Amino acid sequence: MRDAFSDALVRLAVQDPKVLLLTGDHGYALFDAFRNQCPAQYINAGIAEQNMVGMAAGLARAGFRPFVYGLSAFVPLRVLEQIKLDIAHDGLPVVLLGDGAGFVYSHLGTSHQSTEDIACTRVIAGLDVLSPADRHEMTACMAHAYAARRPVYLRMGKSDRGDVHSSSLAPLEAGRMIQVRAGQLDLPAFIATGSMVRTALDIAEQQVDAGVWSVPSIKPLDAAQVVRVARDSRGVVVLEEHSTYGGLGSAIAEIVGEHNPVRVMRIGVSDRFSEHCGTYSYLLKEHGLDHDCVLERIRMFIGSTPA
């Protein structure tokens, strides 16, 4: 997925010399191709993320198309005020790229783990929130973010969990979920984003014959489509590598609760920090987001949901 991101960014920059990449002293190897092909469009703003976002706002006002890259623990979390006031308030076409969402930077501890970024960004007025699940969604999200010409936050999670789509996607429709797998209608629908789409798909293919929907666009989110999926299913299971507060699960529950009250299970990170450092796989297990823990919770939910 990171290769797809790099390829898409280089392609946009070659096509449009107004595209600029700003980084807060991160992503050197990731941006080798960009620096080689578009060196004049690359700005290392240093470890000063708040200044970097302010710089991006000024460049956008001057007619440039800034893409601002940082770890998602810092972009957006460290720079929320600047995103809100410098960029979103005036609708500037700045794309914010938060890499390492969730537990990707597992060994670096809580300071580098990001399970709050969706909640923080989806409440900022005028800011779109994207969360691709694989390289195909990443390519589509990058094209959409550039074409939107408004503030966008793009969340990048674990990059090596494999494809969930078999081929390239059509251009994203704002707010539309993508059906990855059809399933039995007497089971809950699985609605997932980012890295957890792979988990949802594995469980649906191996153990629970449920339909799976991927959500590359968390904001906006097509409420009418969410309601249709909920009405056609026996409940909804939402999976995300993010806090259960304020993330995709909250967005789905808000829509379903208002328009079509069915049961919604939110599978995500509980209201706590990681207790230990370790591998990415270890942290998923600690927080109950590994395959076996998720499967057990889904089976309990199905067993307690009226037919």
Q: What is the pLDDT of residue 91?
A: 98
- Looking at the fold, whether 81 and 119 belong to one and the same domain comes out as yes
Residues 232-288 pLDDT 10s: 999 999 999 999 999 999 999 999 999 988 999 999 999 999 999 899 999 999 999
What residues form DSSP beta bridges with 43? 22
CA distance 1 to 141: 12
CA distance 51 to 255: 36
* Residue 166 within a domain: no
Name the helix (H) or strand (E) containing 52. Answer: helix 49-61
Residues 188-245 pLDDT 10s: 999 999 999 999 999 999 999 999 999 999 999 999 999 999 999 999 999 999 999 9
Residue-level length of the chain: 307
- Residue 303 CB coordination number (10 Å): 7
What residues form DSSP beta bridges with 190? 212, 237
Q: Which domain holds residue 57?
A: 2-156
Question: With 0-12 CB in 10 A as exposed, 13-18 as middle and 19+ as buried, what is 97?
Answer: buried
* Residue 99 within a domain: yes
Residue 252: CATH number of its domain: 3.40.50.920
Q: What is the pLDDT of residue 161?
A: 85
Question: With 0-12 CB in 10 A as exposed, 13-18 as middle and 19+ as buried, what is 227?
Answer: middle
- Looking at the fold, whether 194 and 96 belong to one and the same domain comes out as no
Is residue 110 within 8 A of residue 274, CB to CB? The reply is yes
Q: What is the pLDDT of residue 260?
A: 87
Residue 64: CATH number of its domain: 3.40.50.970
* Residue 162 within a domain: no
Q: What is the pLDDT of residue 145?
A: 97
Is residue 210 within 8 A of residue 232, CB to CB? The reply is no
CA distance 160 to 27: 17
* Residue 290 within a domain: yes
Using 50, 70 and 90 to split pLDDT, how confident is the model at 160? confident
Is residue 197 within 8 A of residue 204, CB to CB? The reply is no
Q: What's the predicted TM-score (pTM) here?
A: 0.96
The sign one gets for the Cα dihedral 238, 242, 245, 246 is negative
Q: How crowded is the C-beta side of 198, counted as CA atoms within 13 Å?
A: 17
CA distance 234 to 220: 25
CA distance 169 to 136: 6
* Residue 233 within a domain: yes
Domain boundary among 156, 188, 216: 156
Statement: residue 307 has pLDDT above 80: no
Domain boundary among 97, 124, 156: 156
Statement: residue 45 has pLDDT above 80: yes
CA distance 8 to 139: 6
How many domains would you assign to the chain? 2
